[in-house]
Amino acid sequence: PEKEVPNEELIDYRKKHLGKSLSLQYKVPIKMVRGDGQYLIDQFGRKYLDTVNNVAHVGHEHPDVVKAGQEQMALINTNSRYLHNNINELARELLETLPPELSVLHFVNSGSEANELAIRMVKANTGARDIIASEVGYHGNTNMCIDISSYKFDGKGGNGAPEHTHIFPLPDAFRGKYRGKDSGVKYAEEVRQQIKKVEEKGRKVAALILEPIISCGGQIELPSGFLKQAYTYIREAGGLCISDEVQVGCGRVGKAWWGFQLHDVVPDIVTIGKPLGNGHPLAAVACTREVADRFANGMEYFNTFGGNPVSCAIGKEVIQIVKREKLKENAFEIGCYLKEELIKLAKKFPIIGNIRGEGLFLGIELVDEKLHPLAAQTDYLANRMKDHGILMSTDGPDNNVLKIKPPLVFNRENAQELIIRLSKILEEDFMKS
């Protein structure tokens, strides 16, 4: 049983001894003590339906993942300089899901580390260091990752884009700079303008880094044709293309294993994180043979924990569960159902301006009749949903997007419950104010 420590005491201690920039979720923080499938359970035994946690990909504390980790931990855990079956087996499982061009893997411990390594690869391959990225993109917490994350350097405490980072406008076809049908071409042109800017300075573009659905940007689906055209421009300029799949990868988008596959492109580098370890710190970089070989310039790449037998046992089990339990197919089926129901809800409640996303990676954007963002209502909705036992997160540059990215075991009944609760709260007075 969980030790009885009052929440106030936990909060006080955190305030005194943990960094101030670590935030807590909710005005009255919750202490979670157990996870189970698509549910989290707090210290009072209250069960919450979790639509936030895309890390617990195959379900919180999936028994097969727990078993795989426990059994391997009892046997051996060392670095990857010794031979071990697990690293090869995880590689094999992952490569089966990727296009044949992406045939080389490096294992690391977090999404940030994966993107950090991807940028090192880009520099070693191109000899260049100018990176093009999206407005409100987020790629991780390290020095380099912050330098390419407009979400951070353009936000509170940030100092704007560094000299070698070039930001194009958020490719948001609903409320962005270009809207509607042919916006894909226009946003791709914005990428080309950034390439030109770099070249006018006498430098060369190193890479484009982008999520296939921009998560922190508010679940922004890339407009049709955009990614393919942007990749063409980048490659013509000698740069590489990185797809950051840390949030959306491993089958979440339903139609495909990876978000880039929705856009008929093959990146040079793919970064994989959160879902791969189902909560255990495990991430990976997949790249082409050519990119990997140019990176291997004689300097050894050593990573103490990356690719260790315990992490790999867990990762292998996660990918096998996605395949065995048909969770990609479930993401597609339940995602389609939920999206249809949300669209019906939007017809009834005009405050819902836009429903978007793929599979179990959806966004609900709240706006007024002039398309002005409604952050207070979005925050209210998320907090009231928590009162009703459903965890939801908010994001986007204007904090007016509710995000839905649950463990992939999320089922039809869960979707129905979500819709019922949302419609109840949308009737409340505050939502009309």
Contacts with ligand PMP, residue ranges (CB under 6 A) = 110-112, 115, 138-141, 211, 215, 244, 246-247, 273
In terms of Cβ atoms closer than 10 Å to its own Cβ (0-12, 13-18, 19+), residue 11 is: middle
Closer Cβ to ligand PMP, 141 or 224, answer by number: 141
- Write the CB contacts of 41 (distance below 8 Å, at least 6 apart in sequence): 32, 33, 34, 35, 47, 48
Crossing angle of helices 412-426/327-348, nearest 10°? Answer: 20
Closer Cβ to ligand PMP, 110 or 183, answer by number: 110
Minimum distance, C-beta of residue 141 to ligand PMP, in the bound complex (Å): 6
Closer Cβ to ligand PMP, 37 or 111, answer by number: 111
For the beta carbon of residue 180, count every other beta carbon within 10 angstroms: 9
Q: DSSP characters for 113-156?
A: HHHHHHHHHHHHHHS--EEEEETT----SSHHHHHT-HHHHTST
Minimum distance, C-beta of residue 22 to ligand PMP, in the bound complex (Å): 13
Closer Cβ to ligand PMP, 211 or 341, answer by number: 211
Closer Cβ to ligand PMP, 246 or 391, answer by number: 246
Minimum distance, C-beta of residue 211 to ligand PMP, in the bound complex (Å): 5
Closer Cβ to ligand PMP, 1 or 19, answer by number: 19
Minimum distance, C-beta of residue 181 to ligand PMP, in the bound complex (Å): 27
C-alpha angle 316-322-328 in degrees, rounded to nearest 5: 145
Closer Cβ to ligand PMP, 214 or 425, answer by number: 214
Minimum distance, C-beta of residue 168 to ligand PMP, in the bound complex (Å): 17
Minimum distance, C-beta of residue 84 to ligand PMP, in the bound complex (Å): 23
Tokens of 385: 């949903």
Residue 254 identity? G
Closer Cβ to ligand PMP, 140 or 353, answer by number: 140
Nearest to 120 by CA among 145, 87, 153: 145
CB 77 within 8 Å of CB 304: no
Indicate the residue whose CB is closest to ligand PMP. 111
H-helix or E-strand spanning residue 70: helix 63-75
Minimum distance, C-beta of residue 276 to ligand PMP, in the bound complex (Å): 10
Minimum distance, C-beta of residue 201 to ligand PMP, in the bound complex (Å): 27
Minimum distance, C-beta of residue 261 to ligand PMP, in the bound complex (Å): 17
C-alpha angle 216-218-220 in degrees, rounded to nearest 5: 105
Integer Cα distance of 415 and 340 in angstroms: 11
Integer Cα distance of 178 and 223 in angstroms: 10
Overall size of the chain counted in residues = 433
Task: Kindly provide the residue ranges of all beta strands, DSSP E only, lying in 267-360, ordered along the sequence.
Answer: 269-272, 283-288, 352-358
Closer Cβ to ligand PMP, 238 or 281, answer by number: 281
Helices and strands in the chain, H and E counts: 14, 17
Q: Tell me which residue has tokens 């406008």.
A: 169
Minimum distance, C-beta of residue 401 to ligand PMP, in the bound complex (Å): 14
CB 290 within 8 Å of CB 283: no
